[in-house]
Amino acid sequence: MTQTLIATLVAVAIYLAELGGVALAISRKRDAPSAIAWSLAIIFLPVIGLAAFLLFGLERIPRRLKRKAAQARNVRDLFKRQLTDSQAVATMEARRGWQGLGLLAENAGAPPIMEGNDVKLLEHGQPAFDAIIEAISAAKHHVHVEEYIFRDDRLGRELLDAMIERARAGIKVRLLVDAVGSFGNWRTIRHLKKAGGEGAVFMPLLPWFKATFPNMRNHRKIVVVDGRVGFLGGLNVGEEYAGRRFRNRHWADAHLRIAGPAVSEVQRVFLEDWDFATGHMPEAAECFPMIEPCGNSRVQILSGGPDDEQNALRQAYFAAITSADKNLKIATPYLVPDLAMREALKTAAMRGVDVTILTQGKPPDSWLTYWASRYYWDELLCSGVKLFEYQRGMMHAKMVLADHAWATIGSANLDNRSLRLNFEVTASFDSPGDIRLFYERFESELKRARQVTLRGFRKRSLTARAFEELARLASPLL
């Protein structure tokens, strides 16, 4: 009798949990296919499906973290009001930018376009890290580093050694790493703290910490030195990003060094994340020195994350695709666009815009994303989108270039994860010199790629088609 009662109570508990899970899936998922898919998973896989949804299906951060995000937005609004009085802020006409994208992003929460910056597109691999280490070694006041992946390998130790040397010299050094991307590399933070620096983990996974939300990650790659020099782009910290790990394989990426007023906004993004992770906001006076214009580049920093309903980054990407008149060049290693982005790409190509997408061939790091990406190739190719698979090695750059008039480089891929689930940061430009350089980099990498034709793609095997069908079920998470 007791066993029967226990079994009945367990069955009732599972049934109620299923109902609650389905209700949560319907209320939280904005698109109907995703809501239906998760609901069916919860119903037919009661325990596994519900657990998977709670871990990976929720796209909104918990209420406690929303309060922190609100505090960060207050800092952002104060910072924007201060910026409007700065001589570095572009004129209202210039702030509109190409096709109004600058003003669109600003109205979605981004800072205004900043003038007077010096921007360098770093060379691939080791030269980029040499520039970062050189800047860290020259720090006079503070070093802020934020990475999705920070490996405990030779390159990671080289960067850590530079940070430790500055920390021992009395410089304030802060390191923020993502709990998933840098999982297991707690040695780096311990060594930095031992040398007098500070370290933190973004949204730890262990339940006795503050939250367990593995689906929402900090994918940003930021270095700020003394509040005057900043780095951002696609490079994590690891041997492969310097082109060392994969023999005879090239690692193509896009990473920027920025000096000038726009660095203050990169700094602001780091400080928001630092406060998000630690509950401590460093004094603004020590992090935001007066920066004189030092170049001719106009820069707007675009950030986005699951705490941001408007998400200036996603808005700018969508507007760039729908506004392009002549050409649209996109470099993204992971191409899993949601329905809105797919329709925007297809209609742009059908309007006669030269839509060219450079993506990764068979990757060394993410087979699931590779197969999910290929599921959408047929409909893109049918609409006139040109697809190129990188052949030389790993194509990890994230670039969007439009009409030789607007460009972005940063950490965001053209996929649902980057544009909805991850915390990302990019820099956008409308200055002709920068855009010309970015187009040259794109075209040079395009020469190392193979164009995918519709006829050739449709000859793929049944096994490949099966992999694509299975992988695309995970598209909302990729």
Residue 250 bears catalytic tag = no
Q: Cα–Cα distance between 225 and 259 in angstroms, integer?
A: 10
CA terminus-to-terminus distance, the chain: 48
The catalytic position among 142, 144, 226, 415 is: 226
Instruction: Tell me what pLDDT residue 209 has.
Output: 47
Amino acid 21: pLDDT: 56
- pTM for the full predicted model: 0.86
What is the dotted CATH code of the domain comprising 312-477? 3.30.870.10
198-202/172-178 β-pairing: parallel
**β-strands 327-331, 354-360: how paired?**
parallel
List the catalytic residue out of 124, 142, 346, 396. 396
Environment class of 366 (CB within 10 Å of its CB; exposed 0-12, middle 13-18, buried 19+):
middle
Q: Is 362 a known active-site residue?
A: no
- Of 191, 221, 329, 346, the catalytic one is 221
Distance CA 195, CA 339 (A): 49
> Any idea which architecture 63-300 has in CATH?
2-Layer Sandwich (3.30)
Strands 393-395 and 250-252: parallel
CA dist., res. 75 & res. 87, Å (int) = 20
Given 29, 142, 144, 219, the catalytic residue: 219
Q: Could you confirm whether 396 is annotated as catalytic?
A: yes
Burial class (CB in 10 A: 0-12, 13-18, 19+), 437: middle
Confidence at residue 286, expressed as pLDDT on a 0 to 100 scale: 82
> Among residues 308, 403, 430, 434, which one is catalytic?
403
Q: 29, 398, 415, 434: which is the annotated catalytic residue?
A: 398
Strands 297-304, 114-121: parallel, antiparallel or unpaired by DSSP? antiparallel
Q: Is 346 marked active-site?
A: no
Pairing state between β 399-402 and 406-410: antiparallel
pLDDT digits 0-9 by tens, 368-394? 778 888 889 999 999 999 999 999 888
Q: Which residues pair with 360 in a beta bridge?
A: 390
Does the annotation mark 226 as catalytic?
A: yes
Active-site residue, 403 included: yes
Instruction: List pLDDT tens digits, range 234-265.
Output: 999 999 998 876 665 788 999 999 999 999 99
Q: Tally the C-alpha atoms within 13 A of residue 361's C-alpha that lie toward its C-beta.
A: 18
pLDDT of residue 1: 53
Tally of CB atoms within 10 A around 205: 14
Q: What is the mean pLDDT of each run of 10 residues along the chain (478 residues)?
A: 64 62 60 65 65 60 56 58 61 81 91 95 92 97 97 94 97 95 86 95 68 76 97 95 73 95 95 90 85 92 86 94 97 92 97 97 72 88 96 92 97 89 94 96 96 90 81 64
